[in-house]
Amino acid sequence: MAKYLATLLLFVAGLAYWMGWVPWAQPLKTDKAPPTVLAKRMDIAPVLPLSGEVAPAFQVDVKPEIGGKIKKIHVIAGQNVRKGEPLVTIDDTDLLNERASAEAEIAGARLRVEKILGNFSRAKQLFAQKLLSREEYVNLEADYQIAENELAKSLFRRQTVDDRLAKTRVVSPADGTILDVPVNEGQVVVGAASVNSGTNLMSFADLSRLLINAHVNQLDAGKLSVGQLMEVHSPDSSDQDYQARIEFIAPLATVKNNIKGFEVRGVIEGNRESMRPGVSVSIIVPIGKAEGVVALPVTAVFERDGKTVVYVLKGKETECRNVVVGLMDSSHVEIKSGLVEGEEVLMVAPPEPASPKKKKT
């Protein structure tokens, strides 16, 4: 019996220990004071972080105005060129043959004009002396006009061939850099016309003036304005940050990556080698600065009944006080009114007092 009783006591003691009840253990204290912070003066400089992409301010796809086989490519990707420098030469053999044919037509037309002009001049004299009928005179006059018209057509055909020959030499439209050359010598290309887009010979851009394109959330777009400074940094560059200014803010919101916002374009002048088109960049836009203002950590400011409040510690009492906030950065917020420097504020909101229960009647 005693052995059975001892076993039972050991079992009960083990169960009590497993459930966390130890008679000699000290009770846990739960009356720990909440954390506080002192209101102090500091500088608040909020910024708007963005991401964007670099693009040249001027970029075009160079296309031929006439079709044909590429005879010579004069440039390579990455090469800097000046306005008017040759980029591509298209084979002009067929056009030269066509021009020779036009020259032969012109020579023949001139001979016909000269011959008919001689006959017409004699007929004019005879008609004046009334030795030639009016019908014969009119016929010779018409033959002369037809011959002159044929000569004009031949000259126009030669001019058309010369214009096409000039287009076989594709030149740079401005000073800039060749970005890409997707064609090869010997390749047959199609001329750009109203019925087709033509073959892209190369991409050309002016890299002396670069754009920074970004998409800004509709909630943050109102914080930006044209002319505002932007700090641009490329993750691929170890150089210092670039300075840019906002040139354009789209008037119409668009959706990008399922986020509705506005297209923002900044301009950076004076390119460096590390900043190239297509590079992703991080952008910091300063949106204000307040110097030497009373501030609190953002975690010490609360919303209560639609108002912004802080909980000021007065001895052992806590006062809920309305405040007016100003600028805010990632960690602190400016307190414009309702709090003075040095006051102690709770970092956590105190529990709401329980409402008194009504007595039953």
DSSP line for 264-324? EEEEEES--TT--TT-EEEEEEE---EEEEEEEEGGG-EEETTEEEEEEEETTEEEEEE-E
**Two structure tokens written together for 309:** 């409040």
Domain boundaries, the chain: 36-44+291-346, 50-55+206-286, 64-91+168-200, 93-166
Q: What kind and span of H or E run contains 140? A: helix 134-166
pLDDT digits 0-9 by tens, 298-350: 999 999 888 999 999 988 889 999 999 999 888 999 999 999 999 999 998 88
State residue 22's pLDDT score.
45
pLDDT digits 0-9 by tens, 129-146: 888 888 888 888 898 899
Q: Are 277 and 210 in contact (CB under 8 A)?
A: yes
Lowest mean pLDDT among 95-99, 171-175, 239-243, 271-275: 271-275
State residue 193's pLDDT score.
76
Lowest mean pLDDT among 9-18, 111-120, 340-349: 9-18
Cα distances (angstroms) measured from residue 327 to each of 72, 155, 265, 309: 62, 76, 25, 16
State residue 14's pLDDT score.
56
Q: Which of 337, 334, 333 is nearest to 321 (CA)?
A: 337
The SS3 of residue 17 is helix
| Residue 121 pLDDT class (50, 70, 90 cuts) | confident
CA angle 215, 219, 222 (to 5 degrees): 85
Residues 35-64, mean pLDDT to the nearest whole number: 91
Q: Are 264 and 226 in contact (CB under 8 A)?
A: no
Report the C-alpha gap between 91 and 169 in whole angstroms.
9
Pick the CATH number of 50-55+206-286 from 2.60.40.420, 2.40.30.170, 2.60.40.1220, 3.40.50.620: 2.40.30.170
Q: Which CATH architecture fits 36-44+291-346? A: Beta Barrel (2.40)
Report the C-alpha gap between 130 and 127 in whole angstroms.
5
93-166: CATH number = 1.10.287.470
Q: Between 14 and 24, where is the model more confident?
A: 14
pLDDT digits 0-9 by tens, 74-102: 999 989 999 999 999 999 999 999 999 99
State residue 28's pLDDT score.
43
Q: What is the pTM of this model?
A: 0.61
Q: Which fold has domain 64-91+168-200?
A: OB fold (Dihydrolipoamide Acetyltransferase, E2P) (2.40.50)
pLDDT digits 0-9 by tens, 246-260: 999 999 999 998 999
Residues 196-212, mean pLDDT to the nearest whole number: 88
